[in-house]
Amino acid sequence: MSIRSCRKTALVAALVAAPGAWAVEIDGRIDPAEWAGAHHVTDFRKVQPLSGEPGSLATEAWVLATPEGLAVAFRNHQPAAVPRTRQRVQRDFSEQVDRVNLMVDFDGDGRTGYNFVVASTGGVSDAVITNQSEFNGDWDGHWHHAVSEEGDIWSVEVLIPWYIAPMRGGDGGTRTLKVYLDRVVGSTGERMAWPTASFQRPRFLSDFAPLEVPLYSRSLLAVTPYVSGLYDKVDGRGDGKLGADLFWKPNGQFQLTATLNPDFGQVESDDLVVNFSATETFISDKRPFFTENQGLFEFTTPSDYSQLLYTRRIGGPADDGRGSGDIDAALKLNGSVGAVKYGLFAAEESGEAGRSFSALRLVRDFATQNAGLMLTRVERPWLDREATVLGVDHNWRPTARWNVRSRLFGSRIAQAGDDSEDLGATVWADYEMDHGWRQQWIAMHFGDALEINDMGYLSRNDLNYGHWQVSRRFTDLPDDSRYASKDWRVRASSTWNDHGQRIRNEFRLSRSSQLRDGSNEYAQLSLNGSGVDDRLTRGHGVLRLPSNFSAFFEYGRPRKGRWAYGLYAQVFSHGLAGNERLGHALEIQPTWFASDALRVHLGASSIHRPDWLLWRGGNLVGSFDGREVAFTTGLDWAIGQRQELRVKLQALAIDARLRQAWRVDPAGRAVASDDPVDDFSVRTLGFQVRYRYELAPLSYLYVVYARGGYRDKPFSESPSSALRDSFDLRDDEQLLVKFSYRFEL
């Protein structure tokens, strides 16, 4: 038996023997009597940088299963020589501060995990982990935490109730979970963990430590009614809504989430997007019903953001073009029968243009692999369209070095008597070698008639793609180096469409680095061979393009004193000019901390696209000299533990002057044209002030003021003056008040 296996066996034995019925008071003060019998962890190892060496600061943790939930405590030694971040953070923060992480895979099958984060100042964040190492922070769970501080030590206690997620049953009165604990030092970025697993590796969830615990179970019935009022100052009209969310978990093997007349008014503002391309912009979903235990429904591919269930479709733009769909009700069931986990999803929109959405999910775990099936169906009566998608996913871990993920799915569309069907398939294989070396292979095929976007998201179909990537991580850098680690990657890829036309061959070289002062760097160079753009003219021919390149650099520095900042710079070539004309982009994002609770952030960016190709209808394309400027600012104020105020302003302006109009001939060549094509300008504005008061866990009062607009205007000689014009936009001006309260029965 290996040393690693012996350690895991010892852990299991210790936890089974632990008297888990003892209660733990979550007050941040680690009472030895309360934690007696818990498994004591002291072997925290560096995983960022990923050296596996002992952590630089002494860290202890205790893990104990209780009838109420899984209890974990951290004791973190941090002498005065290591600055402690005192910054107050809001829920689901991303700032680099002193913090601890508890991650749990409740079924121990490597499919879905939950991350619970507590900062040294008491702020929390939580996320769902899928596909081994993909984190989704849109989910908010109800769990307990507390922080205390004494001298050079700060401590954290956490209790995760058993109703937090659906869980399979166990055998002989026990169940096997998998856990991961880590601590991050805010001033240096060092992460030390137990066990020595890392999300920088292809396998992460599967490397958590097994933990056998008594088969505890807690039931919960929670009802969250809400009332909201919206006043539109531009239209001079008001509107009110009533509704409720329901959460019921009678046992560990069944969970129901439902919503009636949900209010999906935006208390979170989306970033401004001006998209002239043929590719739809992906927007994440923060609506509570759709984020609650959504991990089981994850069915993704290596294509960016692709998934069979994209919840922003529900309540999205209506099929009749009259605003957004109005959701009457939605229902979600999660549970397990034996070793099989299942999920059922349904949502119904109202009105003649209302759509009906439904999905079925099944997954089964085995020793070194798991398999799943997903079926989605959308009925769109306004378009006389029915869309069905069926997918099978398989994850295989034959050894500790290999991780292989396969997906096969197909669509069938029936619309006004015109049926179509096609397939998609992907394979993603990662191989971990010695001395920091890794290899990766990805192959994707999406058929020309594949359509999953009625309920899912796929940036494009009609695609064949393959790449090979080799990487090496360096963590044994000299002590006098400003870098703690460097990770180099080399990739060669090729992309073709289903008609045999080469879209692009690419060579990519990149390096990500962690600095000893906690900063991060990323640099990338991409060299692209000649190919075609088969999406630009929206089906009116393909356009041949010359070779081009892109090089960019990103730098982020966490708070030092009163300042933190980020920098992005890029140089690129594009369009018909290829490498003859160079574009550039520059963005800087400084943040000033007035105090530990109040920060003000600024951002300014500029993009010059000297040969910007835009579709003007049919096979007509315009080549523009485009200039874009953007300004962002805002503040985040943590007013105590229950209140927060956020202000966010975004303004963007684009000016584009025509260089030349082109027609695309049948051979894919650009032929100069005298067709009239106008210069154009765009202005857009988004402004939001949001106050939130937490009355109780997952119970909130929101007061939100929002204003924004979008405008096409004559061409301006000065992008900066165009940006100033955007502040006058007032297409929408609204005040929203929303009150929701969670009753646990």
Where do the domains of the chain lie? 3-217
Q: Which of 229, 92, 76 is CA-nearest to residue 155? A: 76
Q: Whole-angstrom Cα distance, residue 286 to residue 658? A: 39
pTM assigned to the model: 0.88
Alpha carbons 629 and 720: distance in angstroms, whole number: 7
From the candidate CATH numbers 3.40.640.10, 1.10.1300.10, 2.60.40.1190, 1.10.3720.10, the one assigned to the domain spanning 3-217 = 2.60.40.1190
Q: What is the pLDDT of residue 189?
A: 94
Rounded alpha-carbon distances, angstroms, from residue 139 to 292, 320, 358, 469, 708? 6, 31, 21, 32, 27
Burial 60-79 (b: 16+ CB within 10 A, else e): bbbbbbbebbbbbbbbbebe
Phi, psi values for residue 264, rounded to 5° = -110, 35
Helix (H, G, I), strand (E, B) or coil at 741: coil
Residue 175, SS3?
A: strand
- State how far the Cα of 125 lies from the Cα of 114, in Å rounded to an integer: 11
Model pLDDT, residue 532: 97
Structure confidence at residue 400 (pLDDT)? 87
SS3 assignment, position 20: coil
- What is the pLDDT at residue 266? 56
Let me know: does 687 contact 707? Beta carbons within 8 Å. yes
Q: How many CB atoms lie within 10 A of CB 552?
A: 17
Distance in angstroms (rounded) separating the CA atoms of residues 577 and 571: 15
What integer pLDDT is reported at residue 433 of this predicted model? 93
Instruction: Report mean pLDDT in 10-residue bins for the chain, 745 residues.
Output: 41 41 82 92 96 95 95 97 91 92 93 94 92 86 94 96 85 90 96 95 92 90 93 88 90 87 67 82 82 85 93 91 88 89 94 95 90 97 96 93 95 92 97 94 97 96 97 94 96 96 97 95 97 95 97 96 95 96 97 95 96 96 95 93 92 94 96 94 93 92 93 71 80 92 91
Confidence at residue 21, expressed as pLDDT on a 0 to 100 scale: 40
> Going by C-beta distance under 8 Å and a sequence separation of 6 or more, which residues neighbour residue 262?
243, 245, 287, 289, 315, 327, 330
